[in-house]
Every structure is written in C-alpha cells, then in structure tokens.
Chains A and B, each alone.
Chain A
Amino acid sequence: MRKSAIAVSGLRKAYGEQVVLDGIDLDVTEGTVFSLLGPNGAGKTTAVKIMSTLTTADAGTVRVAGHDLADEPGAVRAAIGVTGQFSAVDNLLTGAENLIMMGDLYRVGDSRGHAARLLDQFGLADAADKFVMTYSGGMRRRLDLAMTLTGRPQVIFLDEPTTGLDPRSRHMMWQLVRDLVADGVTIFLTTQYLDEADELADRVAVLDHGRVVADGTPAELKRRIPGGHILLRFHDILALDEAARVLGAAGRDDEALTLQIPGDGDVKALRAVLDRLEHIEVAGLTVHTPDLDDVFFALTGGTAR
C-alpha cells in the first residue's frame, strides 16, 4: 500500500464566532489527485492555507509529506508548492526574471537554464522577456504554476487553478496536472467545477459548512445518489397516456409531454424500455447519468440546476 502524502485529522479553525473547519479528516495517497469540492465559503481555501503553512489551525494534526505541520513547518515548506486562485507573480518583472528569482530562492543551481526549460514547457518562451503585467490571465496562471514547480515539490496545492480561465487554458492546465501525477507528484486540488474533479481526481471529498460530508472516488460518489434516468418526450398527450400505461405514470409531466423512467442508462435497460413502447411514437429520448453535480447538490442541500 502506498503512503499518505497528506494526512489530516480533526482539523478545526474558527474566525471568532464563525466556524470555518469543524473537525475535518482527510487522507491523500502519494502520487494521486485529491479534489476538495464545496460551495463558496465552505472552507476549501482555509484548508489549503492551513496545509500550506499560511494559517495556523485551532486544533487537529496535519502531516504533509511525512512531516508534522506544527513541529516542522520548514520541512513541509520544502516539500510543497502552492498555486492559489490569485496569481502570486511579480508584475514588475518579466516572466523569465520571475522564474530566475524562484530558481535562486530554491537554489536549483543553474537558475537561468532551469527558467528557460520551464518557459518552454509552459508555452511562455515567446513572452519570456515581456513584463508579467502584460500577460493574459491564462499566461499568468501558467507562469504561476511554473514558479511553483521550480522547487520540484512532492505535493502541490492548487486552489481553484482554472477559475476564470478560457477553455483552452483550462485543458492545458488539466494536461499539466496529469503529467505531474505521472511523475509521482501528489496534487491537492480545490475546485468549484465538478467536471474538473471528475476529469482529474482519483478521490473526492465534499466539504460543506466546515465538514466533510462525503469522501470517495467519483464513481463511488455517483453511485451513492439516485438521479440516473431516461427521459422520453412525446408528440401529444395521447401517446403520453399510452406510454404511461405501459411504463408507469410516476415520472409523468403533462405540460412538457415527457415521461421520466428511472435507470442508469445502460443499453440493455434502454432497449427493454423501447421494446415495451412498441408502436408508440417517441418524439425524443435523452439518457441522464448522475454526475458529480448531482452528488454535489444532493449532499450540500442545493436546489436542482
């Protein structure tokens, strides 16, 4: 069995009366992507700040890369990299100068060569000598991540890394995450995009009001909640009546002329439904499988989309 890269137990944090983290436990296996999901204000960013040594916890223990956060913050800092929602880059320097500065601070030796390789890898070689102030949002985010990678961290915290990015930059970021994990790096990702977690995460935890309300692989979480169904649409009320008689009227909607039948959407079930309809004419059919959105809304008490 592989080791834990991050082990959190009983973590609590309150700002005055406001309890932000109410005793959370997390375990992240080395070399995997772990995603912390939750609505805004659920405590995701606070959790990242504590694990990355920016904020102290009120109670609980955190071990990152085998080091206790409270006893050895320096060792934790040497093992981690953090890229937050707001780019932590130096606007008054060029992209190359930012990376060279990071190389000097991390003592990589050949800071210039190292910077040049990262600029290349992140598609920033053309903009290397331009001021960061002139960079687009996607470029800044890439530079930010490149700066984080300068220290060759074993554990990377990405706090909403794709918020506000265009789809292309977003997919580029996803590819980078996959490459990093392939190299054995552990990623702790917070996001409000559920497709992002679905796409990248090996395990997901859902945080709501400072508590972990669910924890598992995306597939496990999806199985836990109902929501898979087949939606049939008809041309007129007569056809709907007939179909409802054959299949049951539970999911019937007279306004929309639709009938909703529970089912996880595999082909066999679909064929069975269509066989039973025989000659009844169907105007349209959609198969809906539960996704993380359904899990999220079911668990965090949000209303349907």
Chain B
Amino acid sequence: MSHAITDARTMLRRQYKHDLRYPAGTVSALLMPLAFLLLFGYVFGGQMGMGLPSGTGNYIDYIVPGVLFMCISGGASQAALGAAMDMTEGIIARFRTMPISRGAVLTAHAVANVLRGLAAIVVILGVALLMGFSPSAGIAGWFAFLGVIVLYALMISWLGVAFGLSAKNVEGANAKTLPLLFLPFISSAFVSVDSTAAGVRWFIEYQPFTAMIDTIRGLLLGTPIGASLIVSVLWAVVFTLIGYAWAMKLYNRDR
C-alpha cells in the first residue's frame, strides 16, 4: 500500500513537470469556460436571462455553476490526451514491465486532472465574482461544493483516462471525449429545463450533468437541490468505478 502511494507520488511529480513545461493544454482547457462565461454573461445573457423563471436571480448567477462544471468536464480531453500519449509512446509498456504498483501512472493522470480542474475553477470563480456573481453559500456550503466538485472531477478524469487508453492514437483520444464536452450544453447549465422542448426536456432532466449542475447551483446559491445531490453523487460514484475498471483493464490488456 505504501508502495502504491510512493509510486503514485513519483508519477504525479512527472505530471506536474509536464504541465509546468507545456502549460498550453491547461491554458486552453481554461479558455473554453472563460469564453462561455464572458459570452453568456455579456453577450447572450440579456436575452436568455429573460427566459428564466421569476425569482431565480440574475442570469450571471444562473450560469456560473454550469461554467464551473465545464472547467472539469472539459478536462476529459486533457486526461485522454495524456493517457493516449503515454500509451502510444511506449512508456506505459515500460512501466508494465516494472515491479511497481499497477496503474500508478493512471492514478497520477486522474489526480493531476482533478487538480487542473480545481485550478481552473479558482480562476473562473475569480472572474465570475468580478462580473457580479454573488453566491450565498456559507462555509459549509463551500466545503460541500468542494467535495462534490472533486467527486465529479474524479469521474470525468477516470473516464477521460479510459477513453485515452482505448484510442488508437492521440487524435482519436481527443475525438472520443467530444460527447463529454458537448453534454453540458444539453443540460440545465445555460437554460432552465422548463423552457426546452418536450423530448429534449426529458433528456435534460435525466442526464447526469443536469443533476450535478443543479447540485452545484443549490450549494452555491441556495436554490432547491431536492434529489439532485443524492442522484448526482450516485452517478459520479458509478461512472468513476466504470472509468477506473475500464482504464485498468485497458492498461493490463495484452499488446
């Protein structure tokens, strides 16, 4: 067990060096949520905010939870790219022939991706506060927010690692994560569910990202959470386990 931790730490140090030297990936992952925050906050906001049910507050408050979620959902492509690069460059083959903890390198990819997501969230929160975002959460609310964000980020990261390992090449890895990048747009991130067409509404209501974004919104702004917290945590745990098991299987497969 202690070996597993030492190995994961060594691998995490490797990730940290990669990110330090090639910050382009991290920066570009930050750009998308930032662009949407500015776009929806300053350009589309006036119009779209009118569609919100009365008493929901202003539109900037409404969209920030979704944009914060995009900081972690966008990380899927980063995790996938990193894993795919390691796989195609043969370094994973080397690690597999070594007497080290199985999958330490994958754990490091996932953990590094969670940390990148948290860093992006800090930046976006700062910008959002400057733009007039006014959360009502107390200390407990912020801690609960941190807890669910880490959990959701773990889910995204392990799925991203698995997507990356399953891809034949680096380009393929990127393509595989596109659905995860797209899903926030068909959720409650930018529009209220009630304003959507019937068929889409059904999908939006039940897709996992909606429950996650509603949970974040509830924790930060005090809107009703209802079953969203339980549902989203369950989704996250299930998909984290699926992503983890899938990634480990791909790591150990013959090649």
Q: Which residues of A contact B (CB under 8 A)?
A: 49, 52-56, 74, 77-78, 80-82, 84, 86-93, 97, 101, 104-107, 131, 147, 151
CB distance from B128 to the nearest CB of A (A): 32
Instruction: Provide the bound-state CA to CA distance between A54 and B94, in Å.
Output: 9
Q: With a CB–CB cut-off of 8 A, which chain A residues contact B97?
A: 52-54, 77, 80-82
Q: With a CB–CB cut-off of 8 A, which chain A residues contact B21?
A: 92, 131
Q: With a CB–CB cut-off of 8 A, which chain A residues contact B90?
A: 84, 86-88
Q: With a CB–CB cut-off of 8 A, which chain B residues contact A55?
A: 254-255
Q: Can you list, as one digit per residue, whether each of B16-43 has a CB less than 8 Å from chain A (1) or not (0)?
A: 0110011000000000000000000000
CB–CB B94/A101 < 8 A:
no
8 smallest CB-CB distances across A and B, nearest first, come from A88-B94, A78-B99, A88-B90, A104-B10, A55-B254, A77-B99, A82-B97, A52-B97
Which residue from chain B places its CB closest to the CB of A111 in the assembled complex?
B10
Q: With a CB–CB cut-off of 8 A, which chain B residues contact A77?
A: 97-99
Q: A97-B17, A101-B10, A101-B14 are in contact. Are A91 and B96 (CB under 8 A)?
A: no
Q: Can you list, as one digit per residue, whether each of B67-97 has a CB less than 8 Å from chain A (1) or not (0)?
A: 0000000000000000000000111011111
Query: Which of A101, A104, A105, A147 neighbours the largest number of chain B CB atoms within 10 Å of its CB?
Result: A105
- Can you name 16 A-B residue pairings with CB atoms under 8 Å? A49-B255, A53-B97, A55-B254, A77-B99, A81-B97, A84-B93, A86-B90, A87-B90, A88-B93, A93-B17, A97-B17, A104-B10, A105-B7, A105-B10, A131-B21, A151-B98
Judged by a CB distance under 8 angstroms, whether B100 is at the interface is yes
Q: With a CB–CB cut-off of 8 A, which chain B residues contact A74?
A: 99
A-contacting residues, B203-255, CB 8 Å: 254-255
CB distance from A154 to the nearest CB of B (A): 12
Instruction: Provide the bound-state CA to CA distance between A144 and B22, in Å.
Output: 23
Q: A54-B254, A87-B90, A88-B91 are in contact. Are A106 and B22 (CB under 8 A)?
A: no
Count how many pairs of residues, one from A and one from B, have CB atoms less than 8 Å apart in the complex. Answer: 63
Instruction: Provide the bound-state CA to CA distance between A147 and B93, in Å.
Output: 13
CB distance from A301 to the nearest CB of B (A): 29
Q: With a CB–CB cut-off of 8 A, which chain A residues contact B96?
A: 53-54
CB distance from B170 to the nearest CB of A (A): 13
Q: With a CB–CB cut-off of 8 A, which chain A residues contact B100?
A: 105
Q: With a CB–CB cut-off of 8 A, which chain B residues contact A53?
A: 96-97
Instruction: Provide the bound-state CA to CA distance between A54 and B21, in Å.
Output: 31
Instruction: Provide the bound-state CA to CA distance between A91 and B91, in Å.
Output: 10
Instruction: Provide the bound-state CA to CA distance between A181 and B33, in Å.
Output: 57
Instruction: Provide the bound-state CA to CA distance between A53 and B89, in Å.
Output: 18
Which residue from chain B places its CB closest to the CB of A79 in the assembled complex?
B99
Q: With a CB–CB cut-off of 8 A, which chain B residues contact A81?
A: 97
Q: A53-B97, A77-B98, A86-B90 are in contact. List 10 more A-B contacts (CB 8 A).
A: A54-B97, A54-B255, A77-B99, A82-B94, A88-B91, A88-B94, A93-B14, A101-B10, A104-B13, A105-B95
Which residue from chain A places its CB closest to the CB of B95 in the assembled complex?
A105
Q: A105-B10, A151-B98 are in contact. Are A92 and B17 (CB under 8 A)?
A: yes
CB–CB B7/A56 < 8 A:
no
Q: With a CB–CB cut-off of 8 A, which chain B residues contact A151?
A: 98-99
CB distance from B186 to the nearest CB of A (A): 35
Q: With a CB–CB cut-off of 8 A, which chain A residues contact B18?
A: 92-93
Q: With a CB–CB cut-off of 8 A, which chain B residues contact A78?
A: 99
Instruction: Provide the bound-state CA to CA distance between A81 and B91, in Å.
Output: 13
CB distance from A126 to the nearest CB of B (A): 20
A-contacting residues, B168-221, CB 8 Å: none
CB–CB B254/A56 < 8 A:
yes
Instruction: Provide the bound-state CA to CA distance between A277 and B255, in Å.
Output: 61
Instruction: Provide the bound-state CA to CA distance between A151 and B6, in Å.
Output: 16
Which residue of B6, B13, B94 is within 8 Å of A147 (Cβ)?
A: B94
Q: With a CB–CB cut-off of 8 A, which chain A residues contact B95?
A: 105
CB–CB A88/B89 < 8 A:
yes
Q: With a CB–CB cut-off of 8 A, which chain B residues contact A91?
A: 89
A-contacting residues, B117-175, CB 8 Å: none
Instruction: Provide the bound-state CA to CA distance between A91 and B99, in Å.
Output: 22
Q: With a CB–CB cut-off of 8 A, which chain B residues contact A82?
A: 93-94, 97
